A = this chain, B = another copy of it.
Amino acid sequence: MTAEIITIGDELLIGQVINSNQAFIAERFNTVGIVTERMTTVGDSDVPVREAFAAAFARHDVVAVTGGLGPTHDDITKRLVCEFFGTDLVTDEGTLAHIKELAQRRNLPLIQSNLDQALVPRSCTVIPNRNGTAPGMLFERDGRYFAVMPGVPFEMKAMVDDWLLPFFAGRSDGLIVRHRTLKTTGIGESMLAKRIGDVSEFLGTDGSATLAFLPNPMGTKLRITVKHRDAAFVDASLARIESALRARAERYIYASDEQELEHVVGRLLNEQRRTLALAESCTGGFIAHRVTNVPGSSAYFLRGFVTYSDRAKTEDLGVPAELIARHGAVSAETAEAMAAGARRRSGADIALSCTGIAGPGGGSPEKPVGLCYIGFADAARTFALKFSFGDHRLRFKDRASQAALELLRRSLLRFDTLDG
């Protein structure tokens, strides 16, 4: 079955609210074989809502509408739904009882506008709203479905998960859609595409599988999508395509699906019972922040030094002042000395360091903005790698932290070479 999601609300059209309802519904619909083909947002006014209803229900098997069901004057959805389906409002006793019970439980006065929410279109099936007073409603016409829900995310989400998905799970027409995402880093989108080569070699030619490249400052995600009526076929295809991608780009794939790089290195450090220290200059604590976003990271992360000044590098990490004077604070030599110093001071098994020019100021022809050295020290070796991360300060931090954690991942996995 195909779907269109319609979100209604002036707050969306002025950009006051980022629309997260669409993504939620689309993701959930996917799990029961409903493929969203279009999303439309219109404001709280009659003509565009009417047009959107008609266009969507003509084109798709399922239409999901959110928004405009509250008790205030700008909530017009219920009236327009009645008009669209040629029906009128009747009191739903179950909803009325729920509204009274909710008011009592929350210690709220029962005013008329709340009681009016028990009025529902005569020809709909009520979708219960356990978290609020506005009920949802489902219409069916000739095997097609039109669902209307409030726009409040936590009310809508519970209605989708508790009621709408079980309802559709038994009715969808069998097309199964599954995704797998492989997350890469340390290679540009174009080079990755070149390495992977002709995708038709492993996607097959029956159109059931697609591959998307999704770049961002942390790396490029490869998203595999397989659509088919046979679940075993879908799983086999996903596995085959994942293998093909791994055969071509294994080195750069650090995680699958929603996992972040800090979780991957955290798991490796835990498994290998190794501890970590950090010495940061240009990233200003961002690597430590990412490492400590992982619950339980205190098991392996001992401490970090944010040595923003040269004096801090010398006093906290023991980087010789004359080394900084000779090579500069942004140099391979300083990065190495920072990592070695953090390791020595903390007693950690491994230390990473980072020194660079995040910009926008501070660059020179020899050392331009974006230049960055990542240092590494463990019992066996101390070295630094050189990078260039562009001239946007926050993107620079994203890229530098990702490169540092990726270097750690490769070292923990004992890659032959750690760069490139």
Contacts and interface: CB of A to CB of B under 8 A. Distances in A.
Contact of A179 (B14, B38, B361): B14
Nearest to A213: B72
A15 B28 contact: yes
Interface stretch (A86-94, A107-115, A319-327): A107-115
Point out which of A73, A303, A305 has the most chain B C-beta atoms below 10 A from its C-beta.
A303
A225 interface: yes
Interface residues of A, number: 115
A15 B26 CA distance: 5
A22 B37 contact: no
A304 interface: yes
B225 A10 contact: yes
Contacts of A298: 308-309
Contacts of A370: 105-106
A182 to B, nearest CB: 13
Chain A binding surface SS class: mixed
Contact of A72 (B189, B280, B309): B189
Interface string A295-311: 11110011111111101
B302 A308 contact: yes
A189 B70 contact: yes
Contact of A291 (B35, B284, B305, B390): B284
Nearest to A312: B303
Contact of A312 (B25, B302, B359): B302
A173 interface: no
Contacts of A315: 345
A16 to B, nearest CB: 7
A292 B278 contact: no
A233 interface: no
A96 interface: no
Contact of A286 (B44, B211, B289): B289
Nearest to A115: B190
Contacts of A307: 303
A159 B305 CA distance: 37
Contact of A30 (B15, B105, B392): B15
A318 interface: no
A26 to B, nearest CB: 4
Interface string A353-372: 00000111100000010100
Given A37-B43, A285-B285, A308-B292, A212 B10 contact: yes
Given A26-B15, A43-B37, A307-B303, A193 B285 contact: no
A306 B303 CA distance: 5
Contacts of A114: 190
A289 B284 contact: yes
Nearest to A294: B393
Interface string A1-20: 00000000011111111111
A352 B19 CA distance: 35
A388 B106 CA distance: 5
Most chain B CB within a 10 A radius of its CB, from A106, A190, A287: A190
A236 interface: no
A393 B291 CA distance: 12
A126 to B, nearest CB: 21
Contacts of A105: 368, 370, 388, 390-391
B193 A71 contact: yes
A305 B306 contact: yes
Instruction: Enumerate the 5 nearest inter-chain pairs by beta-carbon distance, A residue then B residue, closest first.
Output: A284-B292, A15-B27, A285-B288, A285-B285, A304-B306
Interface of A: 10-20, 22-30, 35-44, 48, 70-74, 105-109, 111, 113-114, 131, 152, 154, 177, 179, 181, 188-191, 193-194, 199, 210-217, 223, 225, 278, 280, 283-289, 291-293, 295-298, 301-309, 311-312, 315-316, 345-347, 358-361, 368, 370, 387-395, 397
